[in-house]
């Protein structure tokens, strides 16, 4: 199969890192002046040399986002269906080696959870699980989606990597988008962080967006887990991945997110910290390279920081999130995947968005569009 | 000024508005009212038919405003036909703005699927207004397929770049038997005026108004620009002359006695 691996293998981590650090203010200025920006421009924009240009980048990002997406922010809620997991990932609260209570929601529990989520006004929902192929497999997803579909206009999933055939099944039953984060593009470090389980296969994960694209999914979400390695080099590879995917699966939409490692059960805070200022730089760099990529900001970030990010390129936000299965309605003791930072209710977040002159958008899709219906053309 | 007729509807205003991208539904409503528009597009996917007072539609309940549902989000003719049927049922209109742009990056309309969907929808009794490239041959093919109007783009959607397709729009306007509504890319009132001076039947504007510093005032500016452009067109513009009249005419000898 032709995949991103062919492109990826042409690069050496150390070379990329060195070339980002070597970028000069002249190269930053040329990237800022360009009408069409390439991954090479992206390198300049995320380099230390670009920091003095942050205000200019922010202004451009604001203008470009407004032009493309209007003054709107799309809202969604995650629903954690299961925290069972057969992987050992050293940074994750769901990791197999953590002796925590495991829970997978039953059909009745899913209904209870979505009732609460619906009451807040959400119409877009993201289904999240760990990776436990015996209990939480494609048949489980299909059953869950059948329960959820009548109540939501748009369904995304963030689960273990699946086969192209499985993605096709899920698309057929109403899934609009799939989020699959590479975590880190550093091949060797990836092995250190993902000690056991299917997730330890670096290339299988790297090629997952190809399989999603081939399955004809409407949207693919990419990200690096910021804090596992040098954020600049990792983000360049993610931007390169995005660039490759857009050219290959041209009918698909894309989104990026910037999850920073948050404290979770038994997890140390990392050495590869990315500051608020650098995160803004990264977000603006994505927008400057890619006018149409959706940018999603989760409740991992603080209230105040999220308020400011509304105007800097954000298109999508979660709100009122619970990251444990049953978190919305069951009050279970099951542990969360990571600590939430912005604990405001969805209504409060929507009010802040409106106060910034933006329209909170609760619905921007219709599951009817996904239906495989009978029109003979 | 002459009225515009599309299918069985008569319009006083030749300015159509899109309703996306506004900072709030209230602001959108104020801009629509200020523009004098009688036809606004509504993205079907944005409408929440389950809640009794949809956030978008509740701001568009004015007797002079016709709602034109668009199929934005569909990727092929089959999905478009289904979306149009959904719109007909939910919004009680057989009018549809056909938008098939499978490319989410530049939102380029797919001419092949658009033609297929137009044929099918016309057969099903829809009043079809397809968003298309400024392609004169496609316009004639759509006419044959039973389209109610054509909506060629001025430049890529949302770019505010104006009438980059000027020469092709001229050919379309010259040849068309159905109304030509210039859609997409109109970034300033002057672009709208130019489109109307060329003889376009109407223009559709969204981004330029929605993200303006003052959307309501910008809507008024577009209203005037469209009226001015149309008035100029109906008044027959004087030809542009690039050179002064030659002082030694070449045919003068014909008037001289030999």
pLDDT over threshold 90, residue A369: no
Q: Does B120 touch chain A if contact means CB atoms closer than 8 Å?
A: yes
Which member of B25, B73, B77 has the closest CB to residue A365? B73
Chain B contacts of A365, Cβ < 8 Å?
A: 45, 73
- Residue A245: give its domain's CATH number: 3.20.20.70
Of A364, A373, A377, the CB nearest to B46: A364
Residue numbers in B near A361 (CB within 8 A): 46
User: How distant is the Cα of B27 from the closest Cα of chain A, in angstroms?
Assistant: 10
Instruction: Read off φ and ψ for residue A223, nearest 5 degrees.
Output: -170, 165
Average per-residue pLDDT in chain B? 92
- A70 and B160 within 8 Å at the Cβ level: the answer is no
What pLDDT does A367 receive? 75
Count other Cβ atoms within 10 Å, centred on residue B83: 26
**pLDDT (0 to 100) of residue A374:** 46
- What's the complex ipTM? 0.77
At B258, the pLDDT band (50, 70, 90 cuts) reads low
Highest mean pLDDT among A80-84, A222-226, A366-370: A222-226
Distance between A223 CA and the closest CA of chain B, angstroms: 19
B116 contacts A70? CB cut-off 8 A: no
Distance from CA of B199 to the nearest CA of A (A): 28
* Per-residue model confidence as pLDDT tens digits over B34-63: 999 999 999 988 888 777 667 788 888 888
- pLDDT-based confidence at residue A197 (cuts at 50, 70, 90): confident
Beta strand A294-297 pairing with A316-318: parallel
Domain ranges of chain B: 4-255
Catalytic residue (choose from B78, B97, B164, B177): B97
Interface residue of B102, B107, B211, B218 to substitute, partner A, most A CBs within 10 Å: B211
**What pLDDT, on a 0 to 100 scale, did the predictor assign at position B143?**
96
The contacts of residue A71 (CB under 8 Å, 6+ apart) are A357, A358, A359, B21, B22, B23, B210, B211
Contact B22 A359 (CB under 8 A): yes
Handedness of CA B244, B249, B251, B257 (dihedral sign): positive
Q: What are phi and psi of A203, to 5 degrees?
A: -70, -30
Element (H, E) at B81: helix B77-91
- β-strands A359-361, B4-6: how paired? unpaired
Rounded mean pLDDT, A105-116: 95
Lowest mean pLDDT among A4-8, A86-90, A226-230, B127-131: A86-90
| CB nearest B45 (choices: A69, A364, A375) | A364
Give the mean model confidence (pLDDT) for residues B92-108.
92
A116 has a pLDDT exceeding 70: yes
**Residue A371 placed within a domain:** no
List the domain range (segments joined by +) for residue A212. 4-366
Over residues A140-168, the mean pLDDT reads 95
Instruction: Tell if the CB–CB gap between A377 and B77 is shorter than 8 Å.
Output: yes
pLDDT value for A328: 92
Q: Give me the residue from A71, A292, A375 closest to B105, CB to CB.
A: A292
Share of chain B above pLDDT 90, in %: 74
- Low-confidence winner among A121-130, A184-193, B102-111, B236-245 (lowest mean pLDDT): B236-245
Residue B150 is classified by DSSP as B
Provide CATH code, domain B4-255: 3.20.20.70
Residues of chain B with C-beta less than 8 angstroms from the C-beta of A153 = 45, 48
As a whole-number percent, the residues of chain A with pLDDT over 90 amount to 76
Q: Domain total for chain A?
A: 1
- pLDDT single digits (tens) B201-242: 999 999 999 999 999 999 999 999 999 999 999 998 887 766
Query: Choosing among A363, A365, A371, A376, which should be mutated to test the B contact, i.e. which has the most B CBs within 10 A?
Result: A363
Is the pLDDT at A138 greater than 90, yes or no?
A: yes
Closest to B29 in 3D by CA, of B63, B62, B66: B62
Identify which of A67, A71, A377 has the shortest CB distance to residue B23.
A71
Main-chain phi, psi angles of B149, to 5 degrees: -165, 170
Given a cut of 60, whether residue A48 has pLDDT beyond it is yes
User: What is the interface size between A and B, counted as CB pairs within 8 Å?
Assistant: 85
Give me the mean pLDDT over the A106-116 stretch. 95
Res B241: pLDDT:
67
Q: How far is B30 from chain A (nearest CA, A)?
A: 15
**Nearest C-alpha in B relative to A362:** B46
What's the whole-number mean pLDDT along residues A216-225? 96
Secondary structure of A237-272 as H, E, C letters: HHHHHHHHHHHHCCCCEEEEECCECCCCCCCCCCCC
First to last CA, chain B: 52
Catalytic status, residue B105 = no
- B21 to A72: CB separation less than 8 angstroms, yes or no: yes
Q: What is the mean pLDDT of chain A?
A: 91
Cβ atoms B210, B31 nearer than 8 A: yes
Helices and strands (DSSP H and E) totals, chain B: 8, 10
SS (H, E, C) chain A: CCCHHHHHCCCCHHHHHHHHHCCCHHHHHHHHHCCCCCHHHHHHHHCHHHHHHHHHHHHHHHHHHHHHHCCEEEEEEEEECECCCCCEECCCCCCCCCCCCCCECCHHHHHHHHHHHHHCCCCEEEEECCCCCCCCCHHHHHHHHHHHHHHCCEEEEECCCCCHHHHHHHHHCCCCEEECCCECCCHHHHHHHEEECHHHCHHHHHCHHHHHHHCCCCEEEEEECECCCCHHHHHHHHHHHHHHHHHHCCCCEEEEECCECCCCCCCCCCCCCCCHHHHHHHHHHHHHHCCCCEEEECCCCCHHHHHHHCCCCCCEEECCCCCCCCCCCCCCCCCCCCCCCCCCCHHHHHHHHHHCCCEEECCCCCHHHHCCCCCCC
Region of B3 on the Ramachandran plot (φ > 0 left; ψ -120 to 50 alpha; else beta): beta
Output Rg (C-alpha) for chain B, integer angstroms.
20
Per-residue pLDDT band at B191 (split at 50, 70, 90): very high
pLDDT of residue A309: 96
In a domain, A286, yes or no: yes
| A259-316 confidence digits (pLDDT tens) | 998 766 555 656 788 999 999 999 999 999 999 999 999 999 999 999 999 999 999 9
Residue A270 has a pLDDT of 66
DSSP three-state, residue B177: coil
Write out chain A residues lying below 8 Å of B74, CB-based.
Answer: 369
């Amino acid at each position: 199969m032709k995949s991103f691996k062919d492109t990826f293998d042409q690069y050496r981590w150390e070379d990329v890192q060195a070339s980002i650090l070597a970028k000069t203010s002249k190269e930053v200025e040329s990237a800022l002046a360009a009408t069409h920006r390439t991954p090479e421009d992206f390198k300049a924009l995320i380099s230390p040399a670009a920091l003095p240009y942050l205000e200019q980048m922010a202004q451009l990002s604001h203008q470009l986002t407004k032009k493309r997406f209007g003054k709107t922010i799309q809202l969604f809620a995650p629903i954690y269906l299961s925290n069972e997991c057969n992987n050992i990932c050293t940074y994750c609260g769901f990791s197999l080696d953590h002796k925590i209570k495991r829970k997978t929601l039953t059909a009745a529990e899913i209904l209870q959870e979505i009732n609460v989520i619906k009451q807040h006004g959400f119409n877009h929902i993201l289904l999240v699980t760990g990776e436990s192929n015996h209990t939480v497999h494609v048949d489980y997803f299909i059953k869950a989606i059948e329960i959820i579909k009548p109540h939501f206009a748009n369904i995304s999933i963030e689960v273990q990597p699946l086969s192209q055939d499985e993605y096709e099944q899920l698309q057929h039953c109403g899934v609009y988008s799939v989020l699959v984060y590479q975590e880190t593009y550093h091949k060797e470090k990836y092995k250190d962080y993902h000690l056991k389980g299917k997730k330890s296969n670096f290339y299988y994960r790297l090629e997952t967006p190809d399989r999603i694209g081939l399955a004809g999914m409407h949207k693919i979400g990419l990200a690096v887990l910021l804090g596992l390695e040098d954020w600049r080099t990792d983000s360049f590879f993610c931007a390169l991945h995005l660039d490759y995917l857009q050219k290959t699966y041209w009918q698909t939409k894309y989104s990026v997110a910037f999850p920073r490692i948050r404290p979770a059960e038994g997890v140390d805070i990392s050495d590869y910290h990315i500051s608020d200022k650098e995160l803004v730089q990264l977000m603006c760099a994505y927008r400057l390279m890619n006018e149409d990529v959706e940018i999603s900001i989760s409740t991992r970030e603080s209230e105040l920081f999220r308020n400011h990010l509304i105007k800097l390129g954000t298109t999508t936000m979660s709100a009122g999130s619970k990251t444990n299965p049953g978190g919305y309605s069951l009050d279970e003791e099951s542990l969360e995947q990571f600590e939430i930072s912005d604990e405001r209710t969805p209504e409060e977040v929507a009010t802040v968005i409106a106060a910034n002159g933006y329209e909170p958008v609760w619905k921007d899709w219709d599951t009817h569009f996904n239906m495989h219906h009978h029109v003979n053309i | 000024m002459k009225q515009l007729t599309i299918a069985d509807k008569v319009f006083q205003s030749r300015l159509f508005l899109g309703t996306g991208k506004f900072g709030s539904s209230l602001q959108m409503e104020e801009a629509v009212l200020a523009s004098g528009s009688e036809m606004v597009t509504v993205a079907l996917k944005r409408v929440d038919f389950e809640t009794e007072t949809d956030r978008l539609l509740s701001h568009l309940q004015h007797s002079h405003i016709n709602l034109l549902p668009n199929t934005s989000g569909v990727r092929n003719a089959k999905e478009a036909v289904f979306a149009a049927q959904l719109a007909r049922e939910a919004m009680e209109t057989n009018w549809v703005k056909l938008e098939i742009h499978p490319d989410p990056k530049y939102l380029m309309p797919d001419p092949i699927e658009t033609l297929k969907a137009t044929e099918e929808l016309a057969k099903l009794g829809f009043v079809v207004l397809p968003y298309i490239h400024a392609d004169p041959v496609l316009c004639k093919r759509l006419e044959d397929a039973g389209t109610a109007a054509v909506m060629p783009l001025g430049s890529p959607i949302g770019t505010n770049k104006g009438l980059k397709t000027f020469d092709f729009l001229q050919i379309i306007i010259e040849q068309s038997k159905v109304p030509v509504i210039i859609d997409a890319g109109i970034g300033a009132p002057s672009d709208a005026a130019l489109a109307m001076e060329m003889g376009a039947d109407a223009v559709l504007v969204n981004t330029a108004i929605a993200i303006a510093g003052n959307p309501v005032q910008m809507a008024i500016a577009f209203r005037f620009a469209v009226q001015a452009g149309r008035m100029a067109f109906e008044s027959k513009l004087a030809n542009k002359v690039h050179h002064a009249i030659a002082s030694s005419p070449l045919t003068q000898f014909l008037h001289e006695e030999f």
